[in-house]
Amino acid sequence: MITQQPDIRNITIDPWDEELFDKEKITVHVLRLDKIHPVISGNKWFKLQPYLKKAQLEKRELIITFGGAWSNHLVATAAAAKEAGLNAFGIVRGEKPEKLSISLQDAQESGMQLFFMNRTDYRNKKIPPFLQSLIENNKALVIPEGGYSEEGIKGAALIASCIPPNNYTDICCAVGTGTMLMGLYSAPDLSAQITGIHVLKNNFSAEAELARIFGIQNRKKLPVIQYHYHFGGYAKYSTELLAFMNRLYSKTGIPSDFVYTAKLFYAVYKLASAHYFASASKILLIHSGGLQGNRSLKKGTLIY
């Protein structure tokens, strides 16, 4: 249930103190986008803004989007559409289960209608005929999975307004669709080196997309993408990662999720231990919010 409007004033920049970072002579901070709203969390709020404004401006009646059973994006879109006075329809990857995940139940409670699609059709983004007709008649607006499109990138670029200019040498974020990474890169006021931690296995398209969209003639150095911290693939994890999440929370009070942000934190820690960051570096991690995946874990696995 939505109880408040998203408020960027809730966002803080918190320190992440570690003996290792002191030894490496680096400073690490965390941009807490997860504090912006309990449901429309983190980067989701930023990525959705251009779509919602477009839908309202063009007097669309329905938002259509895609996601899995534990999708942060589906839950956030359902809640944001409700706040904006729009209907929402979620196309869910996979056959309908006997019992819906808690995340899908939350999406339904926010008014989202769900349509389950086999994985092949989902991969091909096949839209059911009854929805396709609404799109063709300009009554429905499609938001790609994770908000990835020109609109989503523009929305993600607004995250830069929460970052003090010229304060950081490095900005690190998790990478799924790459929407946030590209948004940060496109923000004119950010000059820091951007490093993305990819959470998908064997997905190397982000670099080509960056070059295609922005061109190699861009004045900024392209982001660096790290591919070795996916823990087996999307939404995969190990006992080591779960233990790291608990240790991080115990030490800092910062919650993370095993799908995106825990892999980001873990990667930065490991990269620092490998002397990846130059001495005196000031590093900002983007906490992209969304803890839906953690709800699939056995109760008591995490200490938060």
3-state SS of 196-219? EEECCCCCCHHHHHHHHHHCCCCC
Q: What is the rounded distance in angstroms from the CA atom of residue 181 to the CA atom of residue 173? A: 7
In 3-state terms, what secondary structure has residue 249?
A: helix
What does the block give as tokens for 180? 């946030």
Through-space distance between the first and last CA atoms of the chain, rounded to whole angstroms:
21
Beta-ladder partners of 194: 171
Residue positions counted in the chain: 304
For residue 87, give the nearest of 108, 66, 117, 57 by alpha carbon: 108
**Ramachandran region, residue 14 (left: φ > 0; alpha: ψ -120 to 50; beta: rest):** beta
3-state SS of the chain: helix, strand, coil percent to 5?
A: 40, 15, 40
Name the residue type at position 266.
Y
Name the residue type at position 237.
Y
What does the block give as tokens for 150? 């020109």
Residue 4: predicted pLDDT: 61
Q: What is the rounded distance in angstroms from the CA atom of residue 184 to the CA atom of residue 168? A: 13
Domains of the chain listed by start with CATH number: 8-38+153-296 (3.40.50.1100), 43-147 (3.40.50.1100)
Q: Do 89 and 62 meet the contact criterion of CB atoms below 8 Å apart?
A: yes
- Tens digit of each residue's pLDDT, the chain (304 residues): 344 677 888 999 999 999 999 999 999 999 999 999 989 989 999 999 999 999 999 999 999 999 999 999 999 999 999 999 999 999 999 999 999 999 999 999 999 999 999 999 999 888 999 999 999 999 999 999 989 999 999 999 999 999 998 999 999 999 999 999 999 999 988 989 999 999 999 888 888 888 888 875 555 678 999 999 999 999 999 999 999 999 999 999 999 999 999 999 999 999 999 999 999 999 999 999 988 889 999 999 999 9
Q: Do 160 and 187 meet the contact criterion of CB atoms below 8 Å apart?
A: yes
Beta-ladder partners of 31: 13, 286
Residue 1: predicted pLDDT: 38
Q: Which residues contact 240 (CB under 8 A, 6 or more apart)?
A: none
**Helix and strand counts by DSSP (H, E) for the chain:** 11, 10
